[in-house]
Structure 1
Amino acid sequence: MQLAQAPQRIVSLLPSLTESVCALDQCHRLVGVDRYSNWPDAVRRLPQVGGGVDPNIEAIVALKPDVVLLATSSRASDRLEALGVKVVALEPKTHADVRRVLGKVSDLLGVPREQGAERLWRVIDAGVQAAGQSLPAKVRQGGGARVYFEVSRGPYAAGEASFIGETLARLGVRNVVPASLGPFPRLNPEFVVRANPDIILVANRSMQPMVMYPGWAGLKAVREQRICVFGPGDSDVVVRPGPRMAEAARLIAQCLADKAPG
């Protein structure tokens, strides 16, 4: 969508879009966010208008936004547009998507791409590459350590087709969850037992003690404590496809370097 002029009052209903606006130095235009948007610190002081799935439409309208940024999967678009609120739906799912979405947000905000999105993307891309180059040879040898990444309890995993899977590939390791299962499939725990990964990474926003699934006690990675559990702050970084992807790659690379066998 092209607006007649760059929006000055923005409501964002997706954390990665909130972070993208702020990474383009336009945080001051945000007047409301969803309950999960928590970075940078400045956005924590903004009015919260529910979640991306269950936004408070009345609260959004009351903020008089020039535009609402939300996920393409959000069901709020039609209701907001019916009330005369302009909506832009964007949902990055791959590295290429992140670059494209940054460009679209840059254009929407009236920030020249070369100073905005493209400059930012070069920093992200170089950071991911540097994270890969920082890894010791033992992580990459033999085609790379075999890795399982759990995004949330279920278990829901990050497959090869996800942006997390792309980051793992760029770090030179092998994902045990193939692209054929989709980006974030819900797996039978038995799948992971059969796959028998060298290293397990777990995003744990809840900070509940990690409970093993049936059969996992026998996994070599579990027996040898080759598990990284990312707490709430780091989990937000690694599971959001946005401007902090280089930081995510560094966090994952640090885990791989610490836990790699050999």
Structure 2
Amino acid sequence: MSRALRLGRVRPPSWWRCGFIHRALAAVLLVAGLLATAAGARAQPVHLRDDRGAELVLAQPPQRLVSLLPSLTEAVCALGACERLVGVDRHSNWPASVARLPSLGGLDDAQIERIVALRPDVVVAGLSSRALERLESLGVKVFAIEAKDHADVRRSLGLLATLIGRPEQGPLLWSRIEAQLQQAAGRTPARLRGQRVYFEIDAAPYAAGTSSFIGETLTRLGLGNIVPPPLGPFPKLNPEFIVRARPDLIMAVQRNLASMPARPGWSTLAALRSGQTCGFDAERYDMLVRPGPRMGEAALLVASCLERLDRAPR
């Protein structure tokens, strides 16, 4: 094409104009077809069974969601449907954008009337939520999910991805988590491999057992656990059990870690005396104790602590 034609100083020949129109029209039709295909995929009916065994049937993926569990809130957002959330539980705090949404209580005191008033297509919640039956009695569709270990997290991400009409996003998100877990495992210092961990969930004390998603992450990093598998994923322990177990490493939210030496008998624990501990601020600790899309980041956080302990003077 000549410079004059490019500058618009001469009228292009009719054959060129017709060809351009045909090419432009073909491009428009192609884009329209792709958009229609995508819209059709999103509009496919939803037929799923939740972790109670209850069936959920929808004519199309939900456009208005309420989440009553922080890990589910995080998963919905990580799967690309954060804009569909119209309300969350009081503990949901990631991503930051959910802070603008109505806060609807917690596991034991969900605000039923406010949830109903938001007209959600589906409420996603944990199995232990007391709101499930009440919401269903009022005609609200509920989808309940329980995630205790890595396999559960992978499965729950797949279920949520299918629920929102983006089934391909579940495996993609899990692949990212798996890559981060592998990266974290490769960073565990050789000296600390096999060290036995007490990971505190609550000062009661509750601990993360071997069979929990946290325990599985610790295992992936080459660490041991003072909690034997028969005690379950998150057992309440006798404080004397922990003293007798003499963990090599202790991990907890920082405020609990700071108070441990004052607990009866705990000042004798070598891990506390020698500083073989990982204390996490509340924000990072939230990431560690939620079985959701940031599980790989949590493993990297633990790996960073282990690297610091390995570099510390001994």
Structure-2-length-normalised TM-score:
0.79
Q: How does 1:101-112 map to 2 (within 5 A)?
A: 101-112=156-167
- The one of 99, 105, 119 aligned to 1:44: 99
Name 2:133's counterpart in structure 1.
78
* Aligned partner of residue 210 in structure 1, secondary structure: helix
Q: Paired residue for 2:172? A: 119
Deviations 1:26-51 (A, max 9, x none): 10000000000000011011000101
Secondary structure of the equivalent of 1:229?
A: strand
Partner of 2:184: 131
For 2:192, the aligned partner's letter is V
Using the alignment, how far apart are the partners of 1:256 and 1:111 within structure 2?
Answer: 37
Listed as ranges, the gaps of 5+ residues in structure 1 are none
Higher mean alpha-carbon deviation, 188-197 vs 162-171, is at 188-197
The one-letter amino acid paired with 1:121 is: W
- Cα deviation, residue 207, structure 1: 7.2
SS at match of 2:58: coil
Higher relative contact order (CA 8 A, sep 6+): 1
TM-score normalized by the length of structure 1: 0.94
The structure number with the bigger radius of gyration is: 2
Distance 1:255 1:190 in 2: 26
SS of the counterpart of 1:154? coil
1:9 alignment counterpart: 64
Matching residue of 2:82:
27
Name the aligned partner's letter for residue 22 of structure 1.
C
User: If each structure's helix is expressed as a fraction of its own residues, which one has the higher value?
Assistant: 2
1:256 Cα deviation after fit: 2.1
Q: Tell me the alpha carbon deviations over residues 194-230 of structure 1, each in whole angstroms, 9 at most, x when there is no partner.
A: 11111100135x6795243211101111110112111
Q: CA deviation at 1:135?
A: 1.5
Instruction: Tell me the C-alpha RMSD between the 2 structures.
Output: 1.5
Sequence identity, in percent? Answer: 57
Q: For 1:51-99, what per-residue CA distance to the aligned partner results, in whole angstroms no more than 9, with x for missing partners? A: 1221000010111101100011212111101111000001211100011
How many residues are paired up? 256
Match of 2:229 in 1: 179
For residues 85-142 of structure 1, give each alpha carbon's deviation from its aligned partner in whole angstroms, at most 9, with x where no partner exists: 00000121110001100010011100032xx0000000001101110101221112xx
Structure 2: stretches of 5+ with no match in the other structure: 1-55
Q: Distance in 2 between matches of 1:77 and 1:168?
A: 33
**Contact 1:139/1:257 (8 A) holds in 2:** no
Query: Is 1:231–2:281 an aligned residue pair?
Result: yes
Structure 2 distance, partners of 1:50, 1:208, is 28
Instruction: Find the counterpart in structure 2 of residue 60 from structure 1.
Output: 115
Letter in 2 for 1:120: L
- 2:207 paired residue number: 157
| 8 Å contact kept, 2:108–2:130 | yes
* Regions of 4+ moved over 4 Å: 206-209
- Aligned partners of 2:257, 2:101: CA distance in 1, in Å? 28
Give the structure 2 partner of residue 219 of structure 1.
269
Residue 207 of structure 1 contacts residue 231 of structure 1 at CA under 8 Å; is this kept in 2? no
Does residue 256 of structure 1 match 2:309?
A: no
Contact 2:75 2:292 (C-alpha < 8 Å) held by counterparts: yes
